[in-house]
Chain A
Amino acid sequence: MIFNSYDIDVFKDIWVFCEQRNGKLMYTDFELISEGRKLADERGSNLIGILLGYNVKDMAKELGGYGADKIIVCDDPALDIYTTEAYTKVLCDVAMDKKPEVILMGASNIGRDLGPRCAARLHTGLTADCTHLDINMDKYVDFLTTSSTLDLSKTAFKMDDTNLKMTRPAFGGHLMATIICPRFRPCMSTVRPGVMKKAEFSKEKADACEIELYPISISEGDIKTKVLNVVKEAKQMIDLIGADVIVSVGRGIGKNVEDGIELAHKLAEAFGGGVVGGSRAAIDSGWLSADHQVGQTGKTVHPKVYVALGISGAIQHKAGMQDSELIIAVNKDATAPIFDCADYGITGDLFKVVPMMIDEITNRKKQ
């Protein structure tokens, strides 16, 4: 069977590549299955997950609980630990056979390794780090109305256009761009973890989900890299993405880094528990490790409360947190750009302001 990515009409269904590591499904899989369900409903097609690994069959049902109609499982020892060559070969072989219209993938370190390689092999387009997806044009127009400053009265939209409209931040977050892949299929998209909303799990749906075991063949010659070992760092994975409260520190704690970080921890506790994050400056100065970084090249977060201490608010940081529900900023510089997106801004020395905030909040809570 010849695979031709030009032949658009023969491609059907929305696929989600489901990533697992060490026998655990990645959290984004549930987010993407949930989002994929919505897109499949818009399109009137099926939502199919594809899961690669070794001894992973039993994980598949759980994915069904979030709305997948079917999960294709490729189970083989060669897929136990991720290698680019094995996963690319399997995913592309199955895609060339079954011809999905759309493939969604989580933009994890692995997704961003696998996605582009597959897109190149399939001769199709891939849009990375998407934050919003639409298929129907009227939904997309609604989205533009609420999320952009464009004057839509002057634009003509083709309402029957069913290309996947993939919206993502560019230029460090200054700009949002909607990308389409009109001439090739499958249309591929990697999606930022923590952006899409996970649906409610339904046991009924999980039980109804079909599992297809797809036989694959990989020879040793297919794999060109050797994984010598996998090391999990001793410290906990900083869960910025799941946190309700994040208190981030920036250059402003430079005078006393230890105290600054300590204050951030205490403030997060005062709010009822939270995670400490950092701007790029804080990570570059070595005050916090890279997994604390919030921003365009760090993590995108939208907690209930985001407190920025001593952070100027350069666009590449803002891009990572501006969708937080409530933003509080403390900075000595009244002209700092962070104040442009903060719900509450305090100009002052954070080493004086934060202890007072902690006191005040703690006292109020006691009352």
Chain B
Amino acid sequence: MNRDTWTDIQSIFHDALELSESERDAYVEAAANGDEEVLREVRAYLAADRSASQLLDEPILELNTELFAEGPVETLLTGREIAGYQIGRRLGSGGMGDVYYADDLSLNRPVALKFLSAEFHCDDNAKAHLKREAKSLSVLKHPNICDVFTYVDAGEHQFMVMEYVEGESLANLIADQRLFPVTTDNVGLQIVSAIAAAHEQKIIHCDIKPGNMIVAKNGTTKVLDFGLAKVVHDQSRPDLPSEQITQAAKSVQIGTVAYMSPEQHEGRELDYRSDVFSLGILLYELHLGKNPFERSDAQKTKEAILDGNVTFASQTGESVRPALKRVLTKCLEVDPSRRYSDAAKLKWDLEHLQRSWLAAITWKVGAPALALLTVFAIVSAVFYFGNEPERSVAIMPFLNETADPELDYLSDGIAENLVDRMQRASGFIIVPYTKLTGVLSQNVNVAQIGKSLNANLVVTGRIFKNDGNLVVEAKLIETRDGSVARTSLIDLKTEDIQTAENVMLKKLFEDLDVWTLEPLENGGYTPGKTKIPEAHRQYLIGRGHWRKRDRTNIDLAIGAYQRAIDLDPTFARAWAGMAECWVLMSSVAYGSITPKESFDRARAAARHALEIEPANAEARTVMGVVLTKHDWKWQEAEVEYRQAITDDPNYGAAYYWLSGLLGIMGRNEESIAAAEKAKELEPYSPLVEYNLARTYYFARQYDKSLEILNRGGSTQVEEEKIQYLTALNYIQNGNTDEAIKRLEAISAKNKMLAVAALGHAQAKVGRRREATKLIEELKASAKGSYVPAQEIAIIYIGMNETDKAFEYLHAAYREKYGSLSALRVEPLFDGVRDDARFRYLLVQMGLN
């Protein structure tokens, strides 16, 4: 077509469009003037114009809001809210389902939702299948299997609600060669464990491939997509048909060609051994970076699998160690009867293999891994060839040598962060940080401490100032001989304090050859924690103050926690910290608000924390304390403490409070056992030590109590309480004068703490006038601030003024004064114990 013709066509087309439809054809025929080509073309364009009226009319960006999403745009659910779930981006698409990220609006947590793909929306079989998948998965609880929460039928949509795992597909990690040898073993074993658990539940996965495995940033691997799974025919129930893949699934390709077993390719009956074959391919790929059977097309791939010839070498000629090769060969046998009979047997061999993996290092070693491996080889040699059970690291609180108390929070902050990160790095057993509570106050050499905690290595450090710059020094010390294996120095400008932790951790990790999958900047989603750095900093400051635990510091801690909560109201641990402060506030040692206010506030804060993070052991424990000290619901309190222990078996404070509760209830032996357990968990905590002494005091083993009080190198923080408890023991074992001396000394600093015991002791040795004077003073100050009636009662008991004593004991009962809960066991009450009114009080309190 020449230019003129083209110009003619266009101008006739435009002119025709000016006319009404009925006039157009006559005009076009006339205007074409006998040129057949022009006539044909214009007619065609006019016809196209009629059909194309809406073509391209909306800009593409408005038509397709998810332009870059992978998958059919018209089915995207992103942005919608369905049955209480706010749907986010699509995470992926499987054979029959689409998986979306979503926010569970009622529980405020991220979840993954699996919907049926558009093409199955009207397929009842597919719906039933999805429901069945949800049902069978919900019984399959395993750390390496993505958790299924529930199945929702919302009319138009049916979906399965699953745990959201933030991480990357194993397929991507393999393709990008981002797995280190150490992780390779680890990831492989996790997957095999998951499938073994499925097999135990009689479930065959049928679609094992790297694309169905997701590796979280901390290296935890989860098996996803049991969409093709089938349940093995149950021999014991011949009435039930085996739950074969449904019609729906049959219409899509079952499995993925390159990972299917020979029997799967041939459409034969499948059992666990089919999964074993697929696991073999996956493990091979993990170690050698490629699928052994993958060929240029599906047909050739299938032939390779049926042929069963496997060469154990990557493109670059790397191979696997012989023991592993034997395991893989056994998985990849064409004849199922020659394979492992199920994943559990494979798991057993793999575990055995890992225990001896240093024996033959013949796998690929990338440059970054080499350094790691060297360290591993050194330290693991102890583990694998020596007799020591495990390689373990204890991380000490860092010393603040800056003379700036504002930076105190860094001492625990840095160490705890290190513990947290190193726990997630491969190859280390980390001593729980709580074991080191209060360790700074002990003048012991760090290697000894490490040894006492069965650690091979100790990380210790300090923060100091040099020319105005903040410097952090960390040392890695061998506990065997106290030698310094490494020193790491990090210069931080003072104003960089917020990023200090990250910078330092990075440097420390480099220096200590710690490797972690998790990028330091991005903590990922952790329930209870915050993503806001300043909120986290305030939390650490709060905790620093809380650890010092005196009147001033508790106030400061509350202020810091409040700032953290203001910055991030979903910060569960800050709420828990707040609760821990409030629960102390009615105790004479710390605060002077009424028990009701103190416990109400504590309970409210703890509830907040538990709503956000149900497994928060600290908040759970506070609930127990409130139930103990305020509600006097002893059984319920015990349940809370035991739950806290379940949630965090290393949380010493739960045992600490539990021992107190059991003591109150007169269960002395159990109480002492719990106190000893707390001591085991926090061997260096003065508070726990003190509690142990108090437990023996309540059990009336005064000598044992005094022995503990005397052996613990007393510390400034707990000095008063230690002296106080010592004095109480002296009152009971007849050394009253010594008791009075100590109580007088305490009284000079903390009158409220000492006054009741002092007056009681004075009255006992006949100094009634002084005791009466103390009572007068207490009554006078009760006009201004809260004075616990129990304190006055205790003095009257010393004076044998029984009626007066009961007057105030009853008042204390009405006040629900916390310490009154020790009524049954507190030796100070022994003078009135035989009185009928006392027994009645015990009954009223449920302590009889």
A and B held together in a complex = no
B-side interface residues toward A, CB under 8 Å?
A: none
Interface residues of chain A, those whose CB is within 8 Å of chain B, are none
